[in-house]
């Protein structure tokens, strides 16, 4: 785990881009894991809990900065 200074953490939160990318990567990983396991996604839609086929959900595209480790990795 990387130790970050308070100032660096504050900049990350103010900018928000890194957090947005992390959320998209996590969203994508969850969908892929459900597809691999063959189990439905459980979502909240229109005030109800519903099960959804993970293959019916579009994979989000992660817009990684050029040259980043995430941009070159295959998920």
Q: Is 67 left (phi over 0), alpha (psi -120 to 50) or beta?
A: left
What pLDDT was estimated at residue 68? 54
Is residue 69 a part of any domain in this protein? no
What pLDDT was estimated at residue 74? 45
Higher local confidence (pLDDT), 3 or 64: 3
Quick one: pLDDT band at residue 9, thresholds 50, 70, 90? Answer: confident
Q: Looking at the 3D structure of the chain, how many domains does it have?
A: 1
Q: Residues 28-72: pLDDT tens digits?
A: 999 999 999 999 999 999 999 999 999 999 998 877 666 554 544
What pLDDT was estimated at residue 67? 56
**Helix, coil or strand: residue 39:** coil
Range(s) of the domain holding residue 52 = 6-58
């Amino acid at each position: 785990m990387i130790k970050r200074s308070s100032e660096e953490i504050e900049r990350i939160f103010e900018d928000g881009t890194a957090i947005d990318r992390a959320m998209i990567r996590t969203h994508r990983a969850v969908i892929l894991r459900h597809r691999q396991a063959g189990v439905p996604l459980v979502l909240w839609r229109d005030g109800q809990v519903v099960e959804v086929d993970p293959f019916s959900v579009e994979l989000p595209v992660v817009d990684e900065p050029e040259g980043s480790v995430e941009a070159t990795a295959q998920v």
